[in-house]
Amino acid sequence: MASNGNENCNANDSVWRFKGNGATSIAAAATLRKLIFGMFKNCNFNNGKTILPSITHTFKTCPEAEEAVAAAVRSGMANSYAPSPGIFKARRAVADYLNGELPKKLKAEDVYITGGCNQAIEIVIDSLAGNPVANILLPRPGYPHYDARAVYSCIEIRKYDLLPQKDWEIDLDDLEAAADENTVAMVLINPNNPCGNVYSYDHLNKVAEMARKLGIVVISDEVYKQVVYGDRPFIPMGIFASVAPVITLGSISKGWVVPGWRIGWMAMNDPNRILKSTGVIQAIEDCLDITPQPSLILQEALPDILEKTPKEFFDKKIKAMRYSVELSCERLKDIPCLLCLKKPESCSYLWVKLDTSMLVDIKNDFEFCMKLVSEESVLLIPGVALGADGWVRISIGTDGSVLDEIFDRLKTFYDRHAISKEPNQLNGRIAMIRKRKIIFLKP
Ligand SMILES: *Cc1c(COP(=O)(O)O)cnc(C)c1O
């Protein structure tokens, strides 16, 4: 049949029998990446302002980690495929790294190496997705990769609230009310992105008791374990694994500031072997068999990265974060529509409440962030992307001079969109009258 080349423009009478999988776009709509790249498109690249915060201004990793990767390449030992669960020495090193704080020690076999924490999230969720009516409890606000992967694996999402007035503790009544006999797991993010808190021993103990009562596994995302700078110490959820099974997720992305290296892990804290008897371990190992293994170079380097990084590297970063928090909270006082209820004690964000009643032409957090990026080239994450309308996340893991520039621009933006107060309105009217007079006098 002759073709004029236009058939592919019209889906209805197309000759092609295939089309894109719509399920991926529904899942991808929930991710941060989609949102951030969407916001980049809204950026005005011609206003002479660099986009902030920029990846070139984040903290540097340590030379020991860089050397470990270079040595792995040069060794010639990292050119083949790795076994699906990861190489033994990397699994051993992660177990040792986590064991310091745990009463029941992990064996190397309890650890699986993944392509960053995100791949661990994918594998854990896929491994729990057998029951077609299963549901999972996710925090609000939360980290949207969980939402995206639950949508994609057809697990129903149920949200439980974090309580701002109680240091972002989990609303355990809300969590219990959200659960039913088809609930398989709850996700706990500790240290918490975006709220910046860490949970106390007592609270985690209650979480474990609740998980046991509900008969669910706790997925504990501890990817920010190395970025804790407040007074309260970080407590790993694995400590409570004899109450309810805990799958601990982590990576070097945040602690070592190398998210592009794509290396992380999941650890089965399960002294009562519940994950084994329920077939979850088998499902995880099967999932690992059908997905590419993370780079062997990074697996080879991982033991040295975990063992040879000097404490001073983390100390320096903690000092820098404390400085960033003080500076940011001080500068935020100039921007009355953004309110930080509590100084963060972990992670690298300010999680702030947005008061749109102080702004003339901005209805919600999404509009705030879109206008901000297009007018001032400052990229903040709207709360709606993290499940909480009316909030905004500001990244502050960057140098003081960059933070100053970010807050200067935020102030300019606020002044431009603020509802003018009485005296200003009056000033505005006087200015208009003066203007008219000038026009009147001119001819
Ligand atoms: C950044 C982040 C991840 C992803 O970590 P990667 O190792 O970069 O994949 C997972 N969970 C939370 C809470 C994060 O902030």
Residues 124 and 162 in one domain: yes
Question: Does residue 5 lie within any of the structural domains?
Answer: no
pLDDT range class, residue 59, cuts 50, 70, 90? confident
Specify the amino acid at residue 382.
P
| Residue-number span of the structural domain to which 195 is assigned | 63-308
| Ligand 1, residues at Cβ distance < 6 Å | 116-118, 143, 189, 193, 221, 223, 251, 253-254, 259, 264
Could you tell me the CA-to-CA distances from 308 to 16, 97, 284, 313, 327 in Å, in that order?
Answer: 56, 11, 30, 11, 32
Residues 75 and 178 in one domain: yes
* 271-298: pLDDT as tens digits: 999 999 999 999 999 999 999 999 999 9
Closest Cα to residue 351, out of 386, 378, 398?
386
pLDDT recorded at residue 122: 97
**Where is the domain boundary, 308, 343, 373?**
308
Q: How far is the CA of 77 from the centre of ligand 1 (A)?
A: 28
pLDDT range class, residue 373, cuts 50, 70, 90? very high
Residues 117 and 249 in one domain: yes
CATH number of the domain to which 40 belongs: 3.90.1150.10
pLDDT range class, residue 28, cuts 50, 70, 90? confident
Question: Does residue 11 lie within any of the structural domains?
Answer: no
Closest Cα to residue 284, out of 275, 295, 272?
275
DSSP-derived letter for residue 15 is S
- In the chain, the percentage of residues whose pLDDT exceeds 90 is 81
- Kindly state the average pLDDT of the residues 198-208: 98
Characterize 331-358 residue by residue with b for buried, 16 or more Cβ atoms within 10 angstroms of its Cβ, and e for exposed: bbeebebbebebebbbbbbbbbbbebeb
pLDDT recorded at residue 437: 39
374 burial via Cβ count (<10 Å: 0-12, 13-18, 19+) = middle
* 327-369: pLDDT as tens digits: 999 999 999 999 999 999 999 999 999 999 999 999 999 999 9
pLDDT recorded at residue 331: 97
Residues 142 and 190 in one domain: yes
Atom of ligand 1 nearest to the CA of 192: 13
The C-alpha atoms of residue 404 and residue 289 are separated, in whole angstroms, by 48
Residues 322 and 290 in one domain: no
| Coil, strand or helix at 33 | helix
Computed over every residue of the chain, the mean pLDDT equals 91
How many domains does one find in the chain? 2
Atom of ligand 1 nearest to the CA of 259: 8
CATH number of the domain to which 281 belongs: 3.40.640.10
Q: Is the pLDDT of residue 436 over 60?
A: no
Could you tell me the CA-to-CA distances from 327 to 320, 324, 330, 332 in Å, in that order?
Answer: 11, 5, 5, 9
Residues 101 and 183 in one domain: yes
**Where is the domain boundary, 285, 308, 331?**
308
pLDDT recorded at residue 11: 55
Q: How far is the CA of 121 from the centre of ligand 1 (A)?
A: 9
Q: Are 254 and 291 in contact (CB under 8 A)?
A: no
Closest Cα to residue 155, out of 27, 66, 280, 292?
27
Please count the helices (runs of H) and the strands (runs of E) in the chain.
Answer: 15, 12
